[in-house]
């Protein structure tokens, strides 16, 4: 994606991992109907559907937002060197993520805020990096912003992990070190950070998931985390992902978000849409249509 401007806001994307083969459609989105591809072939193929594998294409990336002197990262992917025995995709990675940020002109010490929409394995891994055998904050000058409900949900001291949990070790190596460094700000409920940025709770995928809405000079965008995994969910918001803790609540949250995008012509920027990573949405009868941007 080329740098996108929302008023005075500049937005780039740093891709840690592209999953072009995709996830099996009915695993990622259990309600998926093949007819949506047939009816929208020119739009969805090859944008987000791989006809060779039948998979819905994904990307694992960080949104990089710059406004004034602020450098803000939204979601920090999987991270390197992490022990993820129950999630092979993220296990013991060695990827040039920091080099991707450097190519955008961002050094770790430049980052002023890291906002994690939630604390799943693929959204907070680069919060920390391994240095001399110890996990330390990757972004030493940043405030890390999480929702309190999300912190409490994943703290193993409150909720011990169950067998096979793909989030095993995530709190200990990617969250607790930044807490101990005194760099974490916890948010309860909806919160205006300033006149440009607003955090809102968006439960369903996880209990404490948040989104960030931004606006500048009459233009709007929303960093939507995992309220959607695939563009087909923007077209059919009733289709929750197979990874949602509460599919019913997730669908309600997603429809509200999509309706906001239609009303404000807001650029929709989830955490996993394939290139160009963002879409505009408009109403289409009882459903919705999208335009990649």
List pLDDT tens digits, range 41-72. 999 999 999 999 999 999 999 999 999 999 99
CB 13 within 8 A of CB 290: no
Q: Which CATH number characterizes residue 153's domain?
A: 3.60.15.10
pTM score, two decimals? Answer: 0.97
> pLDDT per residue over 122-173, tens digit each?
999 999 999 999 999 999 999 999 999 999 999 999 999 888 999 999 999 9
pLDDT for the residue 222: 98
> pLDDT per residue over 203-229, tens digit each?
999 999 999 999 999 999 999 999 999
Question: Other CB atoms closer than 10 Å to residue 35's CB: what's the count?
Answer: 8
How far are the Cα atoms of 5, 8, 179, 203 from residue 196, in angstroms, in the given order? 13, 10, 26, 22
pLDDT for the residue 2: 86
Domain, as residue range, for 154 = 4-292
Least confident segment among 6-10, 100-104, 158-162, 272-276 = 158-162
Total domain count for the chain? 1
């Amino acid at each position: 994606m080329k740098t996108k401007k929302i008023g005075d806001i500049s937005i780039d994307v740093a891709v840690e991992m592209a999953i072009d083969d995709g996830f099996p459609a009915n695993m990622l989105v259990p309600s998926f109907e093949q007819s949506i591809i047939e009816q929208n072939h020119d739009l969805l193929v090859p944008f987000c559907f791989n006809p060779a594998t039948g998979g819905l294409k994904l990307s694992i990336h960080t949104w990089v937002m710059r406004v004034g002197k602020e450098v803000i990262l939204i979601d920090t992917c999987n991270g390197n060197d992490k022990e993820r025995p129950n999630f092979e995709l993220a296990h013991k990675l060695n990827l040039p993520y920091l080099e991707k940020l450097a190519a955008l002109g961002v050094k770790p010490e430049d980052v002023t805020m890291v906002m994690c929409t939630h604390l799943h394995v693929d959204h907070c891994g680069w919060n920390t990096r391994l240095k001399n055998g110890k996990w330390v904050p990757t972004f030493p000058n940043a405030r890390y912003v999480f929702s309190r409900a999300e912190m409490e949900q994943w703290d193993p001291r409150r909720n011990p992990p169950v067998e096979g949990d793909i989030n095993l070790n995530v709190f200990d190596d990617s969250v607790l070190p930044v807490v101990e460094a005194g760099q974490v700000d916890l948010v309860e409920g909806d919160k205006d950070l300033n006149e440009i940025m607003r955090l809102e709770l968006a439960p369903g995928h996880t209990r404490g998931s948040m989104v960030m809405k931004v606006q500048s000079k009459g233009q709007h965008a929303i960093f939507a985390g995992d309220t959607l995994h695939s563009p087909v969910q923007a077209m059919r918001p009733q289709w929750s992902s197979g990874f949602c803790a509460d599919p019913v609540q997730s669908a309600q949250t997603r429809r509200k978000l999509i309706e906001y995008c239609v009303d404000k012509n807001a650029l929709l920027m989830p955490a996993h849409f394939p290139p160009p990573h963002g879409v505009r949405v408009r109403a289409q009868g009882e459903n919705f249509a999208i335009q990649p941007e």
